[in-house]
Amino acid sequence: MKPFIAAGLLARGRVRDDDSVDTGNGVLEIKGRANPIRDEHLIGRAPLAEVLRWSSNIGIVKFAERLSNAEEYETLRDFGFGTPTGLSYPTESGGILRAPGSWSSQSSHSMAMGYEVSVTPLQLAAAYAVFANGGELIEPAIVKEVRSPDGSVRYRHTSRVVRRVVPKPVADKIRHMLLDVVDEGTALQAALDNYLLAGKTGTPRGTVRGRYVAGRYNPNFVGLFPGDAPQYVIVVKLAAPQGSIFAAQTAAPVTKAILQAAIAARDAALDRTKLASSVVPSKTGFAYQGVAPVGTPRLVARSSVDDSAVGGSVPFVATLPMPLSAPAPRTIRPVPDVAGLRLRDAVRSLHNAGFRVQLARADGGRGAGAAIGRVSLVTGAASTSPAAGEMAPAGTLVRLLLDH
């Protein structure tokens, strides 16, 4: 829900690029609220873009206080929540979005984080499509066209704009912020090698018969692909997964797998001419340009790709230098020395080196401590906590310890 609150703030001029809020030590006590609001990542004083990048509950709650209850409700309502999407499906749920008259004193805080509201995956996809469509909410449809036996088109769907939700500059700004979520924030495991992906993770508590259940979560991820000129909006929702509950480690990788399959598929609903213009340089200088239904895929240098051949439904064949079943080698590299760096710089340095990052307190806890303190690598019994200079495979989890 955080990007929608951010869009409402920007559309009303309630936040500027240089505005920031203090998320403190990752724990926020609010009078009258039974449980404190907590953050998984410590980001200290941060602007709106950083709040979205690291999915800060505290940050969005503090920013959302700049909206009245009516404005927060109108923002979520305008994105399509609380009402059916208009799909021609008889049992579609409209979800739950209560009017401000029935809110408690804590509802505005909860709703900014995605609680006290219920949405369907279709509503979520349509709402995120606003950021892909320049600020317009589009009515979803199931049938694209109907053809007679002789192939003539008897019906063709035309898009219908429900309403303009936010100005185009606001929609584009939020979409660019969502690029950072995948590139440097909570959704690193959804990132694609050769295309930009915008998206947002969510890890809400699960409900049974309308009540939240302790220990049950429904992680989800919404992706806009490609991030610079979206053609797809993909929503992945997992119900009560075993093991990790975090969307970054569950729903995000599933999204990546779906997109990789779509890019490789011969008949995927992609405009490949436009997609070719969204290719970004890879670290190896090579790019996967699609996989044909037959034959062995091969890897080709980007300079040899004929973009004109990628248009329409024409597949581009590539061959790997090894069997598809063989796992890609994991590059071994030294863990950077980030001692003495500020938290944000240290995390960025480790991410750039190809490692995953987890924060920890000196006493072994997680998620608390000085928000903008200095950090040092944890060296201890955990095998996923190598010291500076040690060699480790790309993707290894490196834990950071706040020294004060």
User: CB atoms < 10 A from the CB of 170, how many?
Assistant: 21
Whether the per-residue pLDDT at 290 is higher than 50: the answer is no
Helix axes 168-183, 2-11, angle to 10 degrees: 140
Q: Are strands 300-301 and 205-208 parallel, antiparallel or unpaired?
A: unpaired
Using DSSP, state whether 5 is helix, strand or coil.
Answer: helix
Q: What percent of the chain has pLDDT over 90?
A: 34
pLDDT of residue 73: 97
CATH class of 2-128: alpha beta
Whether the per-residue pLDDT at 326 is higher than 80: the answer is no
**Contact status, residue 399 vs residue 359, Cβ threshold 8 Å:** yes
pLDDT of residue 185: 60
Domains 2-128 and 332-402 are alike in CATH topology: no
Using DSSP, state whether 2 is helix, strand or coil.
Answer: helix
Q: What is the pLDDT of residues 259-276, one digit of tens each?
A: 888 888 877 888 888 887
Q: What is the pLDDT of residues 347-395, one digit of tens each?
A: 777 878 888 777 765 555 544 333 334 444 443 223 346 777 788 887 7
pLDDT of residue 89: 78
**β partners of residue 13:** none
Whether the per-residue pLDDT at 299 is higher than 60: the answer is no
pLDDT of residue 363: 54
Q: Are strands 161-164 and 198-202 parallel, antiparallel or unpaired?
A: unpaired
pLDDT of residue 127: 96
Whether the per-residue pLDDT at 283 is higher than 70: the answer is no
Whether the per-residue pLDDT at 291 is higher than 60: the answer is no
Q: What are phi and psi for residue 137, nearest 5 degrees?
A: -90, 120
- In this prediction, residues 91-110 reach a mean pLDDT of 92
**Contact status, residue 47 vs residue 100, Cβ threshold 8 Å:** no
pTM of the full structure: 0.68
Q: Please state the separation of Cα 178 from the chain's center in Å.
A: 6
Mean pLDDT of the chain: 78
Assign 400 a pLDDT band (cuts: 50, 70, 90).
confident
Q: Which residue has the tokens 């203090």?
A: 22
Q: What is the pLDDT of residues 119-156, one digit of tens each?
A: 999 999 999 999 999 999 999 998 888 998 888 999 99
Q: Where are the alpha helices (DSSP H) in 12-47?
A: none
Q: Where are the alpha helices (DSSP H) in 102-235?
A: 107-113, 121-132, 168-183
pLDDT of residue 330: 59
Q: What are phi and psi for residue 138, nearest 5 degrees?
A: -105, 135
**Alpha carbon distance 128, 143 (integer Å):** 21
CATH class of 168-264: alpha beta
Burial of 352 (0-12, 13-18, 19+ CB in 10 A): exposed
**What architecture is domain 332-402?**
2-Layer Sandwich (3.30)
Q: What is the pLDDT of residues 158-174, one digit of tens each?
A: 999 999 999 999 999 99
Whether the per-residue pLDDT at 295 is higher than 80: the answer is no
pLDDT of residue 329: 56
The one-letter code for the residue type at 244 is: S
Selected residue with higher pLDDT from 350 and 322: 350
Q: Are strands 232-237 and 220-225 parallel, antiparallel or unpaired?
A: antiparallel
pLDDT of residue 373: 43
Q: Which residue has the tokens 């309403």?
A: 163
Residues 90, 220, 128, CA angle at the centre, nearest 5°? 65
Q: What is the pLDDT of residues 194-215, one digit of tens each?
A: 788 888 888 877 777 777 787 7
Selected residue with higher pLDDT from 379 and 91: 91
Distance between start and end Cα atoms, the chain:
32
pLDDT of residue 370: 37
- In this prediction, residues 323-340 reach a mean pLDDT of 67
Q: What is the pLDDT of residues 215-240, one digit of tens each?
A: 788 888 899 998 889 999 999 988 88
Locate the domains of the chain by residue range.
2-128, 168-264, 332-402
- In this prediction, residues 47-53 reach a mean pLDDT of 92
**β partners of residue 137:** 163
Q: Where are the alpha helices (DSSP H) in 245-362?
A: 251-264, 272-276, 343-352
Q: Are strands 300-301 and 220-225 parallel, antiparallel or unpaired?
A: unpaired
Q: Which residue has the tokens 């070719």?
A: 276
pLDDT of residue 77: 97
